[in-house]
Amino acid sequence: MLTRIEWWGGVIFVLWAVLYGMYLRSADKNAGFDWGRLFGHLYYLAPAVVLVGYFYPLDRPWLRHAYLGLVAVALLLAVVGLVQEVLELRESDGKDKDKEEEDAEETGPVMLAVGVFLANAPVLVACGLGCYKAWPMVQQLLQR
Amino acid sequence: MSQNAHTLHLFFDDSMQTKYCQLMFHHLCTGNLEKAQRFANDLGGIDLAALWDSQDFFNGSVQAKDRGLQLKFESSTHAGIPLRLLETLFAHGLRSAVAEVFYDQVGETERMHFDKGLWVTHREFYERNPALRAVVNGPQEVSEAADRSDDPPEGTRNPRSPVPIARVREQQEEKEREGREAAEAVMDLFKGMRESGVSPVKGIIGVLLLRAAFKGLLHAVLFTVVTVLLFKGFWLWMSLGLVLAVVLPLYYANSERESLRS
């Protein structure tokens, strides 16, 4: 094994790779530079780096600070991304209601939350693990 | 009937060689092989069979143009730039040449520049022979080209570095031979399938499905290698790889079958 990543970390990475692959396939390759597209790439890549960092000891202070910064960035991107996704889903739900489908079911908030979580599980789990690792460092910083 | 139109600009150092070459081609174009051979001997014993494909080249004409010759002829649609003709002439005193062929079936022109037996770029050719630009392109085109950047005309093929014409010819013959062999192999395959009662269409579908299945197997192997190397849990990834080695080929083959059906 070339890395210290545990088997369950590998499972998260495989799921992450599937999600990221789907995102890359949906990208328009000829679109050129786009801020939204850049945000999308960072949304997936930042948690991946956070997850790798979770399995490694951060012996140096600068490593710990860098990891803290990365976790903060990944969390911010995850929150913004999720809010965007929820808003888009609600918008498309509203459009479905406008069509004359009498038996169209409205997605409840719980189902919406479950759906969004499942669709972004690797990203969220990576951010969660990063927060778990970063929390003692934050406490240390606050105690100073 | 379609045919390819060839135009060769040929430049010798020696005016006598230019004259002999002109006379040789004139007699070749008129079908007088005996007289053509006489002038071929004056040029150092040129093998006319290597020079002129009398089965394929027709409607030929040659004229003196400024300090060189302009040879024009037509050929069948599969004949490209006559590299063997040029190679033979370069071996017998030719210094520079510009060869152009117009492919009638596709309406495209191909052009190559040669200097001292090497295939060179358009820019290099005119750097070595600045006086020939007006001869090849005509004086009006020269003054227009001077106003623009030195862009080669459309259809010009340029090598990355000068290549001996013999090597260019060998590579072209190799490509043609490989193409012929591939076509013969496909025809033999179809023939074999017909003899064994298998429809060629079904045979092609079978090959495509096999290719998709092989792709699935390759992806499964790659997945296994990457995960075993990167992550802990050797047996987990090996087992998963084994499962994928069965599932992925089936999945890809099924997807291919669905896309072929649609």
- Tell me whether A21 touches chain B (CB under 8 Å): no
- Tell me whether A1 touches chain B (CB under 8 Å): yes
- In terms of pLDDT, which residue wins out, A37 or B94? B94
Q: What are the structure tokens assigned to A141, written together?
A: 């910083």
The answer, yes or no, to whether residue A96 has pLDDT greater than 80, is no
Mean pLDDT across the stretch B50-63?
85
For residue B237, the chain A residues in CB contact (below 8 A) are: 7, 10
- Tell me whether A44 touches chain B (CB under 8 Å): no
Record: contact A10-B232, CB cut-off 8 A = yes
Query: For residue B163, what are the β-bridge partners?
Result: B119
- Tens of pLDDT, residue by residue over B158-186, are 888 899 999 999 988 888 888 888 888 88
- State the angle between helix axes of A121-143 and A109-119 in degrees (0 to 180), rounded to the nearest 10: 90
Query: Which of B226, B231, B237 to substitute to test the interface with A, most A CBs within 10 Å?
Result: B231
Share of chain A above pLDDT 70, in %: 84
Which residue does chain A place closest to B223, by CA atoms?
A14
Q: Phi-psi category of A106—alpha, beta or left, where left has phi over 0 and alpha has psi -120 to 50?
A: beta
- Tens of pLDDT, residue by residue over B71-121, are 999 998 888 899 999 999 999 889 999 999 998 888 888 999 999 999 999
The answer, yes or no, to whether residue B49 has pLDDT greater than 90, is no
- Tell me whether A9 touches chain B (CB under 8 Å): yes
- Predicted confidence band at A110 (pLDDT cuts at 50, 70, 90)? confident
Record: contact A10-B230, CB cut-off 8 A = yes
Query: For residue B108, what are the β-bridge partners?
Result: B103
Strand ranges inside chain B, DSSP E: 4-12, 58-65, 68-75, 94-103, 108-115, 118-120, 163-164
Do B83 and B165 meet the contact criterion of CB atoms below 8 Å apart? yes
- State the angle between helix axes of A121-143 and A35-54 in degrees (0 to 180), rounded to the nearest 10: 70
Query: Which of B228, B232, B236 to substitute to test the interface with A, most A CBs within 10 Å?
Result: B232
Do A100 and A72 meet the contact criterion of CB atoms below 8 Å apart? no
Q: Could you give the CA distance from residue B223 to residue B210 in angstroms, rounded to a whole number?
A: 20
The answer, yes or no, to whether residue B147 has pLDDT greater than 50, is no
CA A94 centroid distance within chain? 25
- Residue A84: the pLDDT is 85
pTM above 0.80, yes or no: no
Q: Which of B229, B231, B237 sits opposite A9 (nearest CB)?
A: B231
Averaged pLDDT of chain B: 86
